[in-house]
Chain A
Amino acid sequence: MPHATPAVSTRGLSKSHGETVVLHPLSLDVPQGEVFGFLGHNGAGKTTTIRLLTTLLAPTSGSACVAGHDVTAEPLKLRAAIGYLPENVRLYDQFTARENLLFFARLSGVADPVDAVRETLEFLDITALADRRVGTFSKGMRQRVGLAQAILHDPEVLFLDEPTSGLDPMGVRQLRAVIEKLHGRGMTIFMNTHLLSEVARSCTSIGVLAHGRLVFNDSMQAVADRYDEVGLEELYAGVAAAGVAA
């Protein structure tokens, strides 16, 4: 059952660069404990939205709260409550996975960084990688260590920007399993993605962004109930095209 306070809430949140509107006023609620799939074509404004919600960018107008904290009024409290995995993260090549994670654990203010890193490595089943230099890792291994740095402080809301980008099928499968485990722990996950198959398997609700406008937002259950016949791909194509026409 969804909780009263949404994990992510935006009201008229927008971003412009000069005359160019990157994100039109966005009003969106993501309840706690959801795995929210944020779909959209390249340049739709998905990454901009995540950067606004993680306080990397300042909004042009509107407001947003994450884990109950306003992005502009309480950025430090907000950052303490979130985890973030950007697309194509490379981490510190010269350092081992453990050294990378200890660094981010200390910056996150974790009480016992050594313990937190050990537990996270075990949780993600990557203890064997702990003392190898990240520079020697494959894309998939790197992505898992990247995910580890995002969850080692047990955030309330986890932001993933195209987490499956560049992963092989096994990597995608492993990531899906981790998302399911995190969902099982009650973590809210906000995930930008292109992969409709991943959305269908992992997400509990979706939003579709087209040219900076939210053109669809509903639970996966509702999608299944109402659009069962057309399927997710057709639904996405339809709403995205309608968004472009609008």
Chain B
Amino acid sequence: MPELRPSLSGSLLTIALRDAREQARDRVLLWATLALVAAAAVSLVTGAIALHGDAATYAAARAQLLALGKDAAAIAAPEFYPLKLLRGTIEQIEIMGAVIALVAGYRAAAAERGRQTLALILTRPLPHWAYGLAKILGGAALAAVALALVLVATGLLLRLVSGIGLGFGDAGRLALTWAAGVFYLTALFTLGFGLSLWAKSPVSGLIYAFALWILVVLVAPQIGDTMDPDNQVAGGVFAQLSVPKAEQDRIKAGFAGYESFRNGIEVASVTKHFERFTFAVLGIKDTYTGAPLDKVLAEKRGDLLFLFLFSLGLGGVVLLKPINPDRLTKES
């Protein structure tokens, strides 16, 4: 009898495509993505209304100055950077997108365990790590499609509410945001998938994944942020006490160890890196508004690298940790 040996790439594609088809059929992910689009759209419209308010105030003030025969240049026109309006979209991806990715990862593992199909796949002639890789690639593909849908929909809406079309440069910035988002959501999908695959029951795995996410993504940065003395007073401690810059630096030098520890806690969050990168690329953070893309990238490539390495590291752990067959039949 000829030996059966499927190609590795063929097996990966078979598993990933099956996952994608299943997700498309049960529509949970589709509805979740549409909910994300809707939430992002609400943020976008809110931002647009605020901007229109600023523009109207400026127009009224300008008209008043002109009516008084004064120079309208005395007041600055509000700057309009359409991509800044995507702040709400990014924040929705950070929170809602993360929840969707964790749940999608859980579902990818729980369904296979409960249906015994995991045992059927693992007794096929493909290495066990290839199964994990196929699931992660499937998750990344879903994240890529869902994010593309969210960004294209909000991009079109942006044109509608602002009346300004996005340029080639803007499209490039959106593409970078999309890439960072795919890394971010894939990492969280992998976390949900891995823990749901290994835990005694998949639901326990999902709870662990959420607990970890809340701890690392929400609690740790908040602790780090709170530990920053400069954040304890509105406008900053040093500014309020009128401490000169040189003196500030001298004081800070005495707390270098503390500051490294505090910053370490703050930057442990993958969400923080996603936010720092996208806020800079889209010009949402004032420091980077209108800054050339190459300058932004030179400064923020570390955040993108962190997102990439974080996804890669989590993926590596999932691929290397053996699957416990005693848990194949445990349902959710």
Contacts and interface: CB of A to CB of B under 8 A. Distances in A.
Interface of A: 17, 51, 54-57, 76-77, 79-82, 84, 86-95, 103-104, 106-110, 149, 153-154, 156
A153 B4 contact: yes
Given A54-B123, A109-B4, A149-B120, 6 more contacts: A81-B1, A86-B119, A92-B22, A104-B120, A107-B15, A156-B1
Main secondary structure of the interface of B (DSSP, over half): helix
A108 B122 CA distance: 11
Contact of A103 (B18, B114, B115): B18
The 8 closest A-B pairs by CB, nearest first: A109-B6, A109-B4, A80-B125, A56-B325, A90-B115, A107-B124, A80-B4, A79-B125
Given A80-B5, A109-B6, A156-B1, A86 B124 contact: no
Interface in B176-197: none
Interface string B112-141: 001111011111111100000000000000
Contacts of A57: 325-326
B124 A79 contact: yes
18 contacts: A51-B325, A76-B5, A77-B3, A77-B125, A80-B5, A84-B119, A86-B120, A86-B328, A89-B119, A89-B120, A92-B115, A92-B117, A94-B22, A104-B124, A106-B11, A107-B121, A107-B126, A109-B125
B244 interface: no
A106 B115 contact: no
A76 B125 contact: yes
Contact of A107 (B14, B114, B115, B116): B14
B25 interface: yes
Given A51-B325, A95-B22, A106-B10, A76 B127 contact: yes
B117 A56 contact: no
Contact of A94 (B25, B114, B116, B328): B25
Contact of A108 (B117, B124, B328): B124
A103 B14 contact: yes
Contacts of B26: 94
Contacts, number: 93
Contact of A56 (B5, B119, B125): B119
A17 to B, nearest CB: 8
A88 B329 contact: yes
B197 to A, nearest CB: 14
Nearest to A79: B125
Contacts of A81: 1, 3
Contacts of A108: 4, 6, 124-125
B115 A93 contact: yes
A91 B11 contact: no
A165 B17 CA distance: 32
A25 to B, nearest CB: 20
A89 B115 contact: yes
B123 A55 contact: yes
Given A107-B11, A108-B124, A86 B5 contact: no
Contacts of A93: 115
Interface string B3-33: 1111100110011001001100110000000
A210 B91 CA distance: 59
A103 B131 CA distance: 14
B117 to A, nearest CB: 6
Contact of A91 (B10, B15, B117): B117
Nearest to A57: B325
A32 B5 CA distance: 22
A87 B329 CA distance: 9
Contacts of B328: 56, 86
Nearest to A85: B120
Nearest to B111: A92
A81 B2 CA distance: 10
Contacts of A77: 3, 125
Nearest to B119: A86
Contacts of B126: 76, 79, 107
A54 B328 CA distance: 14
A91 B70 CA distance: 78
Contacts of B11: 106-107
Contacts of B5: 76, 80, 109
Contacts of B4: 80, 108-110, 153
